[in-house]
């Protein structure tokens, strides 16, 4: 005795028929159930009670696994492989969509890198820098965070020839922005000035408005020699939201010969 | 005591049953029981993979129709190719049967 009812028996058969399409599985189930119904009815007509007739009918079918395996051998594996290939293609497509530039996963990866990596922007800040300082200063602007991680001073060659502007340096600020929510893109909310002077952007690694998780930029500001602290003011949309003080150690500056 | 034999030539039997009339699965089992008086026994579920194989080879076709009992059932119909297969398998069976009888009749 199998102890299974008709539905359980059909399911036990179908488990062994992976090649069957959904429509074939339904047809197989229907045909087996009809057979069980006919047999059970014949047994009941012979005087057997319903439960015993049902059990006898299922038992007469034989081993569900063997039936399923025999059935499976007679089905073409084509649709099984078509189904597997479709599933594989769907998975590949999903992965590509998730990791492509601009996707949520790529955005989160950029964001986390900007948030936690010690050296989030590997490019050299300036080849002629006379003073470089690594730091990790962060300022929050709405849902975005701007992280300053490297500043440098560069002697301004152009001012050398201007008597009235001797001692002017360029303060290079390497920074990046990221959203507080790792799944949201970084917005270009740059609007920075230093000691009241508008900064000019000398290098931007990304587009002004991007959909990635981090926006890295290097900006340069003119800075008079000897000023102990550079005050960066973040004023996107023309309105100041935050300030950040950068101490400048002029004693460490190695003047170019 | 009557010895029950495992059925090794089920497809031949199925083809022969369908040569008489179109039938559905349980109807074939019932006809077999009635004609053979339980000389042959088979696990009833194994009939269906055999029918599927015959369908694949074009020996039978299937269609759904309401049975005399009033329920819709999947009927199987023997095709011309199936009739040729039945003739060939019958010939092979007769030859086999003749060879066995020849051996058994040896003194």
pLDDT in tens, A199-249: 554 443 333 445 578 888 888 888 888 888 888 887 776 676 788 888 888
pLDDT in tens, A7-36: 999 999 999 999 898 999 999 999 999 999
What are the extents of the domains in chain A? Answer: 6-99, 116-252
Rounded-to-integer distance, Cα A121 and Cα A110, Å: 11
Sign of CA dihedral A40, A46, A50, A53: negative
Residue B45 has a pLDDT of 93
Test mutation, B44, B46, B51, B76, chain A, max A CBs within 10 A:
B44
Q: Could you tell me the residue range of the domain that residue B14 belongs to? A: 5-104
pLDDT in tens, B21-58: 999 999 999 998 888 766 666 789 999 999 999 999 99
Q: How big is the A-B interface in CB pairs under 8 Å?
A: 59
Residues in chain B closer than 8 A to A34 (CB atoms): 24-26, 71, 73-74
Residue A247 has a pLDDT of 85
Q: Which A residues, 72 through 111, put their C-beta within 8 Å of a C-beta on chain B?
A: 73-75
Tell me the H-state helices in chain A.
Answer: 6-14, 22-45, 50-61, 64-73, 78-99, 104-116, 157-160
Residue B39 has a pLDDT of 66
Q: Does B25 touch chain A (CB under 8 A)?
A: yes
Position A119 confidence tier, pLDDT thresholds 50, 70, 90: confident
DSSP A56: H
Residue A218 has a pLDDT of 84
Q: Which A residues, 12 through 41, put their C-beta within 8 Å of a C-beta on chain B?
A: 13, 27-28, 30-32, 34-35, 37-39
Query: Architecture of domain A116-252 in CATH?
Result: Sandwich (2.60)
pLDDT in tens, B87-99: 999 999 999 989 9
pLDDT in tens, A123-164: 777 888 888 888 899 988 888 898 998 889 888 765 445 445
Position B9 confidence tier, pLDDT thresholds 50, 70, 90: confident
Min Cα distance B95 → chain A (Å) is 28
Min Cα distance A49 → chain B (Å) is 20
Mean confidence (pLDDT) of chain B: 87
Residue A249 has a pLDDT of 84
Q: How many domains does chain B have?
A: 1
pLDDT in tens, A37-47: 999 999 999 99
Task: Examine the pLDDT at A100 and tell me if it is beyond 50.
Answer: yes
Q: Does B58 touch chain A (CB under 8 A)?
A: no
Which long-range CB contacts under 8 A does B61-70 form with residues at least 24 apart?
B67/B24, B67/B27
Apex B57 CA angle, B51 and B58, nearest 5:
90
Rounded-to-integer distance, Cα A29 and Cα A218, Å: 68
Min Cα distance A89 → chain B (Å) is 30
pLDDT in tens, B75-91: 999 999 999 999 999 99
Look up the CATH number of the domain holding residue B57.
1.10.10.10
Closest CA to A243 of A254, A231, A229: A231
């Amino acid at each position: 005795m199998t102890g299974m009812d008709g539905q359980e028996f059909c399911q036990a058969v179908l488990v062994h028929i992976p090649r069957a399409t959904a429509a074939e599985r339904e047809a197989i189930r229907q045909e087996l159930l009809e057979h069980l119904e006919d047999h059970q009815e014949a047994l009941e007509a012979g005087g057997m009670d319903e439960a015993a007739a049902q059990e006898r009918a299922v038992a007469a079918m034989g081993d569900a696994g063997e039936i399923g395996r025999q059935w499976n051998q007679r089905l073409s594996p084509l649709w099984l492989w078509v189904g597997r290939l479709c599933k594989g293609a769907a998975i590949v497509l999903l992965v590509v969509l998730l990791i492509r530039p601009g996707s949520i996963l790529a955005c989160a990866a950029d964001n986390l890198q900007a948030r936690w990596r010690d050296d989030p922007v590997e490019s050299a800040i300036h080849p002629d820098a006379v003073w470089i300082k690594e730091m990790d200063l962060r300022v929050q602007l709405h849902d975005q965070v701007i992280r300053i991680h490297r500043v440098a001073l560069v002697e301004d060659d152009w001012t050398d020839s201007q008597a009235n502007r001797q001692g002017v340096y360029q303060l290079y600020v390497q920074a990046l922005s990221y959203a507080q929510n790792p799944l949201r893109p970084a917005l270009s909310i740059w609007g920075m000035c230093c000691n009241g002077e508008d900064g000019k952007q000398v290098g931007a690694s990304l587009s002004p408005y991007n959909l990635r998780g981090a926006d890295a930029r290097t900006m340069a500001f003119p800075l008079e020699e000897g000023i102990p602290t550079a005050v960066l003011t973040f004023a996107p949309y023309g309105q100041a939201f935050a300030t950040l003080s950068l101490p400048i150690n002029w004693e460490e500056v190695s003047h170019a010969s | 005591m009557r010895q029950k034999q495992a059925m090794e030539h089920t497809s031949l039997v199925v083809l022969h049953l369908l040569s008489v009339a179109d039938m559905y699965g349980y109807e074939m089992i019932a006809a077999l029981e009635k004609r053979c008086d339980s000389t042959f026994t088979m696990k009833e579920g194994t009939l269906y993979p055999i029918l599927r194989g015959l369908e694949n080879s074009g020996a039978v076709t299937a269609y759904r129709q309401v049975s005399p009992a009033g329920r819709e059932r999947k009927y199987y119909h023997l095709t011309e190719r199936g009739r040729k297969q039945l003739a060939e398998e019958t010939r092979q069976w007769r030859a086999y049967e003749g060879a066995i009888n020849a051996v058994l009749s040896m003194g």
